[in-house]
Amino acid sequence: MPIKVLIAVTWMQGHRIWLSGPLPPCTHGVRVRVRGFSSSREEVRFLDSSNEKGKTPHPNPPPGVPGGGDRKFSIRWFWAFLLIFCLSAAGCQTHLEKYEFVRPEMGTVFQVVVYAPDAAAAKRGADAVFARADELNALLSDYDPKSEISRLSRLTDSGPMTAPVAVGHDLWRIIERAVEASRRSNGAFDITIGPCVKLWRRSHQMGELPNPERLAEARKSVGWEAIKLFPETHSVQLLKPKMRLDVGGIAKGYTAMEMVRMLRERGLPRAMAGAAGDIAVGDPPPGKSNWRIAVQALEQPDKSAGYVELHNASVSTSGDTERYILIDGTRYSHIIDPRTGLGLTHRIGATVIATDGTTADWMSKPLSVLGPEEGLRLIESTPGAAARVVTIEGKQTKVYESNHWREFQSASVP
């Protein structure tokens, strides 16, 4: 469609046609204006019917539309209107229906919502992106001993790696972004936290904290500075013994964004993908200017704390609402403080909006680890990002918002 409109604009040069946004529901991204009149369906019909009756000009032409006189001029306008009609009709022809798909992926449930011309197209798109999620899981899961990331980690079993090893495109992109995240958050986000996450999982099963020796041993293998990157060859060298990379805090956001990108590539740009905590959205649903996403309430996990409205962006929420361990009256979150190796004990939840899923996912961890003041500084220094943080101390709930949060917050409740 944009190409076609471009042709129309080129052809009509000198006749004051221009492009502008935002878009009416059926123009697929572009509104064409002719001398101040937007090409809504009605106007197009008017133009069409006048063309059908055609030979005589419209008796009451609207202002700015030539109504008669110069025959050459009229003929030119006739073709111009006909062309615009054809373009608009072509755009409006494709009626999009909403389709939803749900599948277990990455230890959780992923959902895809897509607007497609028919069920077959939607299913083809969904199958392709779920296959991609499977592929990413097979590369990035630390639960799977055969995954690329597990094999890389095992190279440190008998000591630091003595030489770099080339990794695939996806693993490289994730590790590179994760290292950048660690640098920006002063280590509050750290994918080398793997050995401590393993202890947390054991604590979850046993209902007891790891003994101090075990914890101390695990912490020796933690430290993002021990990841050495070789950008020219997409190679990685891990410089501590027994390191375990865990990308659970960044990979779902990356996957959700990948799924939306792939759907767009397949001609389905009006799509949403993700798991409960990590959601990516593409172009808005037909006739809407945004997707509306519910934000989970930290205090009441089954309730929403409101809605955000966004398109071509991602939103991630991290908190201890579902995954936590209660030991001797203390609640340990699944988000680990790399400084202690233990789950956070302060109650905090963070929702981050960012232009890409990887950023939204990782940033919700430092916000939780560092707390609202320091965490929100990170958000303010990130273009396109916004966040809302909730803390609970005793019976007191406090809400903190970044400067741009309100721009995404939905004013209305559905």
The footprint of ligand ADP (CB under 6 A) covers 189-191, 193, 197, 246, 248-249, 252, 277-278, 318, 334-336, 338, 361, 364-365, 369
User: Least distance (Å) from ligand ADP to the CB of residue 1?
Assistant: 36
Residues 6+ apart with CB under 8 A from 139: 147, 148, 149, 168, 170, 171
What distance separates the 2 farthest-apart alpha carbons in the chain? Answer: 95
Q: How far is CA 307 from CA 98, 210, 315, 414, in A?
A: 20, 39, 11, 9
Which residue of the chain is nearest ligand ADP when measured via CB?
248
DSSP H/E element including 414: none
283 binds, among Mg ion, ligand ADP, none (CB under 5 to 8 A by kind): none
CA distance 207 to 325: 7
Q: Residue 96 or residue 136: which is nearer to ligand ADP going by CB?
A: 136
Q: Residue 12 or residue 335: which is nearer to Mg ion going by CB?
A: 335
* Among the listed residues 251, 277, 294, 311, the one whose alpha carbon sits nearest the alpha carbon of residue 115: 311
Residues 6+ apart with CB under 8 A from 395: none
365 binds, among ligand ADP, Mg ion, none (CB under 5 to 8 A by kind): ligand ADP
User: Least distance (Å) from ligand ADP to the CB of residue 90?
Assistant: 41
Q: Residue 218 or residue 350: which is nearer to Mg ion going by CB?
A: 350
DSSP H/E element including 390: strand 386-393
3-state secondary structure (DSSP) of residue 194: helix
User: Least distance (Å) from ligand ADP to the CB of residue 9?
Assistant: 44
Sign of CA dihedral 357, 359, 365, 368: negative
User: Least distance (Å) from Mg ion to the CB of residue 362?
Assistant: 8
User: Least distance (Å) from Mg ion to the CB of residue 248?
Assistant: 7
334 binds, among ligand ADP, Mg ion, none (CB under 5 to 8 A by kind): ligand ADP
Q: Residue 248 or residue 282: which is nearer to ligand ADP going by CB?
A: 248
* Among the listed residues 256, 297, 255, the one whose alpha carbon sits nearest the alpha carbon of residue 136: 255
Give residues 239-278 in contact with Mg ion (rule: CB under 5 A): 252, 277-278
User: Least distance (Å) from ligand ADP to the CB of residue 141?
Assistant: 11
Residue 405 has a CB neighbour count (10 Å cut-off) of 21
Cβ atoms of 348 and 212 closer than 8 Å: no
CA distance 382 to 403: 11
Q: Residue 80 or residue 379: which is nearer to ligand ADP going by CB?
A: 379
- Long-range contacts, 407-412 (Cβ 8 Å, 24+): 408/308, 408/309, 408/310, 408/353, 409/306, 409/307, 409/308, 409/309, 410/292, 410/306, 410/307, 410/308, 410/309
CA distance 195 to 182: 17
Q: Residue 193 or residue 390: which is nearer to ligand ADP going by CB?
A: 193
309 binds, among Mg ion, ligand ADP, none (CB under 5 to 8 A by kind): none
Q: Residue 197 or residue 273: which is nearer to ligand ADP going by CB?
A: 197
Q: Residue 105 or residue 278: which is nearer to Mg ion going by CB?
A: 278
Contact map string, positions 340 to 379, toward Mg ion, x by CB under 5 A: ---------------------x------------------
105 binds, among Mg ion, ligand ADP, none (CB under 5 to 8 A by kind): none
User: Least distance (Å) from ligand ADP to the CB of residue 188?
Assistant: 6
User: Least distance (Å) from Mg ion to the CB of residue 368?
Assistant: 11
Contact map string, positions 277 to 296, toward Mg ion, x by CB under 5 A: xx------------------
3-state secondary structure (DSSP) of residue 228: strand
369 binds, among Mg ion, ligand ADP, none (CB under 5 to 8 A by kind): ligand ADP
Q: How far is CA 116 from CA 25, 88, 126, 165, 236, in A?
A: 14, 18, 11, 42, 41
Cα three-residue angle 62-64-67, rounded to 5 degrees = 65
User: Least distance (Å) from ligand ADP to the CB of residue 208?
Assistant: 19
How many positions of this chain bind Mg ion (CB under 5 A)? 4
Q: Residue 240 or residue 270: which is nearer to ligand ADP going by CB?
A: 240
Which positions lie near Mg ion, rule CB under 5 A?
A: 252, 277-278, 361
